[in-house]
Amino acid sequence: MVINYAFTMKNTQEHISFRFNWNLNEKTANLLGQCYAYVNAILNTPIRPDHHQQLLTVSLNKGALATTAIEGNTLTEEDLDQIQRGKDLAPSRKYMQQEVENILGAFNTILEELVRKKSPAIITPELMRRFHKMIGENIGETFGGNPGQFRRQNVVVGIVYKPPPFGEIEKYIKKLCDWLLHDFHYTHEQNFDEAVIEAIITHIYIAWIHPFMDGNGRTARLLEFYLLMRAGVPSIASHILSNHYNDTRTEYYRQLHHASETGDLKAFIQYALEGFRDGLEKIIELIHKEQAELTWKNYVHDITEKMQSEEKYKKTARRVRQLAYYIPADRFYSLDEIKILNARIAGEYQAVSLKTLRRDLDLLVKKELLKTEKNKYRANNELLHRLLPEASAGIRRHF
């Protein structure tokens, strides 16, 4: 698929220099520091297996949809949900389904090799061709090249950007692989900053060299995914950069253009890191939300367990525990709404009167587990703030 970048690129390959043509400024260094801190926070926070699987599924789905959307695929999350429930799309959209399924298959293969089998590899021409084959398999004529094969003709990308001639691709790719191996120190105690920058740089260089007839962007982003996973970035964060590029697609193309025009990758690195940092922050927020829910349930359990030890509450403690567990904090709920909030509450209260339900709710208000307003109730999870370390309002942004 040929992308129209909507601007003019120069026709020489001076920018493909295999040199460190960037000087990281203070902001970029701080971005790397924030990303490192967030990655470690995610890796060192226990997540329930079911919640982790949910986050991983969302991450892989978003990543697959994003990287194919950049190339023109219009499938939505709803379409993908339909596919994963075993329902194929209309024949006219079958190739789009195959594109997304190919990416998901590649993601899962990489996770199996890197995360579960702990079998990383260095970047080689063979690995690039293997990834390209994964991307292009079974798509048919809509994939404009031979999956797993470097191109055998010269091409023009977009308007007038001419990648290296096909006869020089092997040379360029070998130089890229050698450069990545020797200058980014993967086999010699590579640090986090080197690994993340290697991933971003590899992405750019594949876009510049354009070694395949089709699927170069997807291959570039898959290699980026691979290098981030190899560096130990959590699998639940695997979608972040593809999502960022897709959400800011105009800026993505502008940054690629600027990098090729100037040969300076500093701006693209900063642009990518900003998206990476923001995406990691969102994952931390999701994990914190789940941690807060677990902490709330533990707190409710402790309070109702104490109630159960008191004679007057023995018969009601287990029942009111279900109320305190499952009444949300997002808004106030009426008695009729509460009684059918979920199966557990309905099971406990189907045989009792609204008067009993109200009495139990008022008991939980007394215990400060619920708040009430105009005969409606919600969880009082502001209590969790008491469990946080004390601090002034302070400053909450690093840079």
Write down how long the chain is. 399
378 labeled binding residue: no
Distances (CA, A) of 145 to 133, 220, 394: 10, 16, 56
Look at residues 106, 95, 104 and name the one whose alpha carbon lies nearest to residue 72: 95
Hey, is 314 helix, strand or coil? coil
252 labeled binding residue: yes
Reduce the secondary structure of 135-186 to three states and give it as a string: HHCCCHHHCCCCCCCCCCCCCCECCCECCCCHHHHHHHHHHHHHHHHHHCCC
214 labeled binding residue: yes
Q: At 373, which helix (H) or strand (E)?
A: strand 370-373
Token digits of residue 281: 């922050």
Token digits of residue 209: 């060299």
Look at residues 309, 322, 310 and name the one whose alpha carbon lies nearest to residue 364: 322
Hey, is 107 helix, strand or coil? helix
25 labeled binding residue: no
216 labeled binding residue: yes
Token digits of residue 248: 């800011």
Query: Does 210 qualify as catalytic in the annotation?
Result: yes
Name the β-bridge partners of 376: 373
304 labeled binding residue: no
356 labeled binding residue: no
Contacts of 136 (CB under 8 A, 6+ apart): 102, 143, 145, 146, 147, 148, 214, 215
172 labeled binding residue: no
245 labeled binding residue: no
219 labeled binding residue: yes
CA angle 266, 157, 94 (to 5 degrees): 105
Q: Which of 203, 210, 239, 244 is catalytic?
A: 210
Binding-site residues? 214-221, 252-253
List the catalytic residues: 210
Binding-site residues for ATP? 214-221, 252-253
